[in-house]
Structure 1
Amino acid sequence: MSYTVDFKEVSRVGLESSPVVEALAGLRANESRYFKNKYDHDFTVTPASEAPETLEWVNRILAEERNLTIASRPLEVTSFEVDGIKMAYVFYESGLSINVMYTLEDGGKRAVGFKLSQGMEVPEELAGTFKFARQKSKLAGEIRGSYFVIKGQY
């Protein structure tokens, strides 16, 4: 069942099994606020088991671009298009959030972003490969993030 993320009243719905549930819920709400304010888009998530095509697309990009497989269980996903950009998000039980920004027009920006919820360790599969910058968020506390540019066509 889909859930529209409310960034005014942060909810743990769908994320209850995460050991950093409060921080992950705040991170998800932070993303919701960004898309509402920038694009007037309602950020709606679905259990990962109900949208396997989104999870498969993100996993394919991770595997083909960087030979990455995320060990944590995916909890929720979302996929949508705003201003000619296809966006996809996966929220993992560990507190990791992965997003794919894929401009549909050739020559546009295409990247994969990683965000770590406050209180979680850097996942083993990302450690040593990526450096994480810190940012403060009223909703999520401290978020650590990194990214890489997508080179292939997906």
Structure 2
Amino acid sequence: MPFAVDFDTVSTVGLRANEARYFKNKYDHVFTVEPASDAGSTVDWVSRILEEERGIVIASRPLEATAFQVENILIVYVFYDNGLSINVMYTVEDSGKRAVGFKLSDGMEAPAELASFKFARQKSKLAGTIRGSYFVIKNEY
């Protein structure tokens, strides 16, 4: 069952506060997640993009996922048990921008399958120091 991520009174259950605050402030969207076991098609879609675009297979187990559309952008997140967050921002129009983003939790080392990426640091009041990277999607999904 999906549940809203609370960023006002930050809880430890389903904590995705950094993303929840961003989407609430920018798009007035309530960020909800569901167990990955209930979001198989979402997890599979992200896995397919990673494998077909870059040959990446994430070794960690997916815990939660979400998929929603704001304006003309399909946004998908998968959160893994090692602290990795992967998001896909996929503009609906044929000529739109599309990318996959990776975020590493505070203190997390990059998983071996992402060793070729350079990660930039970002400070978050809700999530500590986040490191992130991305790549542009070239094909249609």
TM-score of Structure 1 vs Structure 2, range by shorter chain: over 0.9
**1:5 Cα deviation after fit:** 0.2
Q: How far 1:150 moved relative to its partner? A: 0.1
SS in 2 for 1:11: coil
Q: What residue in structure 1 maps to residue 122 of structure 2?
A: 135
What's the CA shift for 1:107? 1.3
Distance in 1 (alpha carbons) for counterparts of 2:2 and 2:98: 26
Provide the rounded CA distance (Å) in 2 between the counterparts of 1:72 and 1:53.
17
CA separation in 1, counterparts of 2:97 and 2:6? 28
Instruction: Report the equivalent of 2:12.
Output: 12
Give the structure 1 partner of residue 100 of structure 2. Answer: 112
SS for the counterpart of 1:34 is helix
Counterpart Cα distance in 2 of 1:71 and 1:139: 26
- Aligned residue for 1:125, secondary structure, equals helix
1:101 aligns with 2:89: yes
TM-score (structure 1 length as normaliser): 0.90
2:2 is equivalent to residue 2 of structure 1: yes
1:46 is matched with 34
CA offsets, 1:62-107, max 9 Å, x none? 0100000000110000000001100000000000000000000011
* Aligned mates of 1:57, 1:78 — CA distance in 2: 12
Structure 1: 5+ residue stretches without partners: 15-24
The structure 1 segments of at least 4 consecutive aligned residues displaced by more than 3 Å after TM superposition are: none
Q: Distance in 2 between matches of 1:3 and 1:10?
A: 14
2:83 and 2:10 map into 1 onto residues whose CA distance is 15
Letter in 2 for 1:153: E
AA aligned to 2:81 is: E
Q: Does 1:35 align with 2:23?
A: yes
Tell me whether 1:58 sits opposite 2:36 in the alignment: no
Which structure is richer in relative contact order (CA contacts within 8 A, separation 6 or more)? 1
Residue ranges of structure 2 left out of the alignment (5+ in a row): none
Question: What residue identity is the alignment partner of 2:34?
Answer: T
Between the two proteins, the alignment pairs up a number of residues equal to: 141
AA of the residue aligned to 2:13 = V
Say whether residues 1:71 and 2:59 are aligned partners. yes
TM-score (normalizing by structure 2) = 0.98
Q: Deviations over 1:100-138 (max 9, x none)?
A: 0000001111000000000211101001x1000001000
Q: Percent identity?
A: 72
2:113 aligned residue (125, 140, 146): 125
